[in-house]
Amino acid sequence: MLFGILREEDHRVSVTPELAKKFISEGHEVYFEKGAGSSAYFEDSLYNEIGAVEKSREEIISSSNVLITLAPLSKEEVAKLAENTFLFSSFQPFQDASICETFATKGISAFSFDMIPRSSIAQSMDILSSMASISGYKAVLKATDYLPRYMPMLSTAAGTVPPSKVLIMGAGVAGLQAIATAKRLGAQVEAFDTRAASKEEVQSLGAKFVEVEGASDDTNAGGYAVEQSEEYKKKQAELIALKIEKADVVITTAQLRGRPAPKLITEEAVKTMKPGSVIVDLASSTGGNCVLTEDEKVVKKHGVTIIGSSNLAAEISEQASVLFSKNVQNYLKLMLTKEGLNFNFNDEIILQSCIVYKGEVIYGNEAKQKA
């Protein structure tokens, strides 16, 4: 099979030379676009050395059998794909399912990394987790960059510096890594989440769990959080107001799959924060957890720096590419043979992540997904 690696508007690359080498050793061919991995320090020479061939973007798109990308291709580029192409990316069909029809019309197959179940068996393929973990780590470092204060407590000859107080909203994968990172830097950390399961995880990292009673938690939601009642939101807002005025850094990660992010920080709450404090909003691409967040921007409001970024993993480009590629490699083990791609739709991971197969829409097809 012919694998294509494209240069993306991202500092990461989807297939590292190590993974490309694996494809080639199994008898496949690899084309790469000039500079595909250079922002992650995987220079073209590394791809050349293992036998991959540099081609133009147009040729890669029109001739590859398999394209693995970080971000989905544009509609214009999808139109240029050959029939029977296999596309692998994060298509977020739960945000907009119309993308499936586009693929179906072209007769191609599409597999969405963000549909891989969040189960123990699929952990080694879980791109959402590896990228969220990097984002959580980087969010803390980003905050320290803007914070005019120390994170740890320090006893100096000139006096004692108190530790910074860090508040984490949403203790999923990104939130837990943010807690761990802030703790390592010596901050005092508090966190809250609506999922009951997160309490133990927060406490095991040495942070304080802030509990708001009455959270709705649906164990059938695949581990994802669900929309909360108005009563809960009110109680949560009151508690946030109490905690936020003392916080030096707030990192927000709260997401509702397929829906806008819950608004957890009001403008009034920001006004109560100490000047110089920092909010890092990792939910900015889905509307943000803070009402003042602007996606992909750093803004200063009421003396508080607000960083809106949902793609901080791309800033740790080398390691993020390595982990992304490893996840891809583990996922492809389910289907890639020397002869080509073979799909066993009895495998829950394949069934859930395949959104279109040879022109047939699988996503949302209950009968197919339960087959």
Active site (catalytic) residues:
118, 123, 126, 129, 224
SS3 at position 310: coil
Q: Write out the two tokens for 219.
A: 């164990």
User: Of all residues in this chain, which one has the CB nearest to ligand NAD in the complex?
Assistant: 172
Taking CB under 6 A as the criterion, the residue among 16, 85, 253, 311 binding ligand NAD is 253
Q: Is 223 in the site for ligand NAD (CB under 6 A)?
A: yes
Minimum CB distance to ligand NAD, residue 233 (Å): 7
Q: What is the torsional sign of CA 205, 156, 148, 163?
A: positive
Q: Is 116 in the site for ligand NAD (CB under 6 A)?
A: no
Nearer to ligand NAD, 63 or 123 (CB): 123
Q: Is 209 in the site for ligand NAD (CB under 6 A)?
A: no
Under 8 Å between Cβ of 302 and 274: no
Q: Is 22 in the site for ligand NAD (CB under 6 A)?
A: no
Site string (136-175) toward ligand NAD, x via CB under 6 A: ---------------------------------xxxxxxx
Taking CB under 6 A as the criterion, the residue among 14, 89, 135, 194 binding ligand NAD is 194
Dist CA 350 CA 352 (whole Å): 6
Q: Is 202 in the site for ligand NAD (CB under 6 A)?
A: no
Under 8 Å between Cβ of 5 and 14: yes
Strands 159-161 and 154-156: antiparallel
Q: Write out the two tokens for 310.
A: 């949902």
Nearer to ligand NAD, 42 or 331 (CB): 331
DSSP 63-130: H-SEEE-SSPPPHHHHTTSPTT-EEEE---TTT-THHHHHHHHHT-EEEEGGGS--SGGGGGG-HHHH
Integer-rounded Cα Rg, in Å, for the chain is: 22
Under 8 Å between Cβ of 172 and 199: no
Q: Which residues contact 79 (CB under 8 A, 6 or more apart)?
A: 106
Under 8 Å between Cβ of 28 and 367: no
Minimum CB distance to ligand NAD, residue 148 (Å): 28
Under 8 Å between Cβ of 108 and 83: yes
- Give the binding range for ligand NAD (CB under 6 A) out of 48-56, 83-91, 121-129, 152-160: 121-129
Q: Which of residues 260-289 bind ligand NAD (CB under 6 A)?
A: 262
- Give the binding range for ligand NAD (CB under 6 A) out of 67-75, 78-86, 113-121, 291-299: 113-121
- Give the binding range for ligand NAD (CB under 6 A) out of 5-13, 46-54, 142-150, 255-263: 255-263
Q: Is 326 in the site for ligand NAD (CB under 6 A)?
A: no
Q: With 0-12 CB in 10 A as exposed, 13-18 as middle and 19+ as buried, what is 106? A: buried
Nearer to ligand NAD, 71 or 226 (CB): 226
Q: Is 228 in the site for ligand NAD (CB under 6 A)?
A: yes
Q: Which residues contact 219 (CB under 8 A, 6 or more apart)?
A: none
B/e letters for 198-218, b = 16+ CB within 10 Å, e = fewer, are bbebbeebebebbebeebeee
Nearer to ligand NAD, 66 or 282 (CB): 282
Taking CB under 6 A as the criterion, the residue among 123, 144, 285, 330 binding ligand NAD is 123
Minimum CB distance to ligand NAD, residue 310 (Å): 10
- Give the binding range for ligand NAD (CB under 6 A) out of 17-25, 41-49, 128-136, 310-318: 128-136
Minimum CB distance to ligand NAD, residue 153 (Å): 28
Under 8 Å between Cβ of 195 and 150: no
Q: Is 126 in the site for ligand NAD (CB under 6 A)?
A: yes
Q: Please give the residue ranges that form the binding site for ligand NAD (CB under 6 A).
A: 118-120, 123, 126, 128-129, 132, 169-175, 192-195, 198, 223-225, 228, 253-257, 262
